[in-house]
Structure 1
Amino acid sequence: MLGLLLLQVLASCLWLGHSEVVTSFEDCPGFFYEGTFPSDALHPEKPAWICQWYRNSCHFATLYDRDRRIPVYSAYIYQPGSGKKPHMWSFVEPQLIRHDSFKEMERESVLIDQHEFTLDQIKDSQAVLEDYKRMTGLNRGHLSPSGHQDGRESKTATYTLTNIVPQDRKLNNGQWSVYEGITMPRMSKGCKTTYVITGTVPGNSYIAGGRVNRPSHIWSAACCLVGTQPDRAWGVIAENDKNQVENLSLGELEARLSTLYRGRTVTLFNNACPRQKTSRHVQKRLRSFSHMSLNHRMG
């Protein structure tokens, strides 16, 4: 079932023939359950909808904030798998520079040396490597993480700067890593397909001389299908200056985001994904996983 679904996702991207910065996700809907996109409440003033392509394949989708130079969220299908360690290049998006440019993510050096772009042209439209070189207490945080992708090319594609935010180093290496690497696989056990949307809440501070926003919060939501129907959903959120991850139901996360977005109603998934509070049993599992994992890392 999952294999067929992934073929459908790829086919929807191949219909375009390329990756693309578009005006909606209608051209790469397969990363969203039933083609339902998060509500407009999350849209920044200058959004860019990116179908993230690398090596002729579409790997995930990102809503990008051109002004703050960070992704608002990235959506993908959770499919952790084997694969050689990816090239840890950091890509940029040529179409953010010029709409008629070629449509696959590429390295800065290639754009400058082989395609006659200038660094200033790239910097005008998005974050660049230079912006992330002098951070203190921060790491490059991936919204669609390499570890949730299968195969070298899919893993490599996550290393685009349009998928990266300044994330608190202790959080990124600590409880967020625990969630991504231990809690998430256990929560999704038994799921045929798990749709994931991971995003940010814009903050009041910036790095790189005011060029790149430091989010106030990092969050993630998942909707699990058993067979063809949603069986369960969950969410997490973390303040981006503390090594703590709060486990929530999908409905609780959407309510929290609605508050953080000043009362604008936030919805993340199709209505079929359960919003109710997670069962006590699952909540207990979540707390247990986080506690056990933290002790393991400290040991």
Structure 2
Amino acid sequence: MTRPLIAAVVLALSSLTANARDTGQACAHVLSTGQPSIKQSADRTQLLCYRAYAVLYSSQTRTALWSAERLTREAVDAARKLPRDSDFYEEDRLPEADRARLADYRRGSGFDRGHLAPSGDFPDKAAQAESFSLANVIPQHSVSNRRTWSHIETSTRRLARE
């Protein structure tokens, strides 16, 4: 199963200091109006805003439906200097019954926890740590995650640097 490429927004990244919030203009640093321009069709969805990205989370599938971020050369250059050392975590802003669990991704299943908004795009430790929320993850076949999707992420960062 491959991770869907749904509405990943690659635009210019502004200086981000806002804390994570759930709705309204809190996502304006990623979404021009603070809200998605497409209708949130699923009944059980929640827009989650983070320092450097936003996701539309589905309680029905317990995965993100899409992610959006603004990416610049400066962000990519800063991210390249940071080691990836964060741990995946369950998103406590979601109701317990609706959130993905660490146990959903047990070893040996053949599936990785695939980031929609990759930690390697984010210029500081706090933003990178937020990318490890399970609300930003979908199950992805390990070969796809570690090869195909990794190449897509790397190519996107190269384009941002150019």
1:74 aligns with 2:67: yes
Normalised TM-score (structure 1)? 0.44
The corresponding residue for 1:184 is 156
The corresponding residue for 2:118 is 145
Deviations 1:74-115 (A, max 9, x none): 111222123432432222222212xxxxxxxxxxxxxxxxxx
Distance 1:180 1:155 in 2: 15
Query: Are the equivalent residues in 2 in contact too, given 1:83–1:151 (CA < 8 A)?
Result: no
- 1:34–1:5 Cα change, 3 Å: farther
CA drift of 1:160 comes to 0.6
Higher relative contact order (CA 8 A, sep 6+): 2
Distance 1:185 1:51 in 2: 21
Query: Are the equivalent residues in 2 in contact too, given 1:20–1:51 (CA < 8 A)?
Result: yes
The corresponding residue for 1:63 is 56
Distance 2:105 2:70 in 1: 27
Deviations 1:32-83 (A, max 9, x none): 246573411x53221111112xxxxx23211100111000111112221234
What are the equivalent positions in structure 2 for 1:58-137 lying under 5 Å apart? 58-78=51-71, 79-80=75-76, 81=78, 82-97=80-95, 122=96, 124-134=97-107, 136-137=109-110
Normalised TM-score (structure 2)? 0.76
The one-letter amino acid paired with 2:94 is L
Structure holding more strand per residue: 1
- Tell me the SS of whatever aligns to 2:139: strand
CA drift of 1:171 comes to 1.0
Q: Unpaired segments of 5 or more residues in structure 1?
A: 53-57, 98-121, 191-299
The corresponding residue for 2:27 is 28
Distance 2:20 2:121 in 1: 20
Distance 1:5 1:136 in 2: 36
The one-letter amino acid paired with 2:29 is G
- 1:162–1:87 Cα change, 3 Å: same
Sequence identity (%): 23
CA RMSD, 1 decimal: 2.4
CA drift of 1:130 comes to 0.8
Distance 1:5 1:185 in 2: 12
Query: Are the equivalent residues in 1 in contact too, given 2:47–2:54 (CA < 8 A)?
Result: yes
Distance 1:62 1:187 in 2: 22
Equivalent pairs counted in the alignment come to 146
CA drift of 1:142 comes to 0.2
Q: Unpaired segments of 5 or more residues in structure 2?
A: 1-11
The corresponding residue for 1:158 is 131
Query: Are the equivalent residues in 2 in contact too, given 1:83–1:152 (CA < 8 A)?
Result: no
Distance 1:131 1:5 in 2: 32
The corresponding residue for 1:45 is 43
- 1:71–1:153 Cα change, 3 Å: same
- Tell me the SS of whatever aligns to 1:130: helix
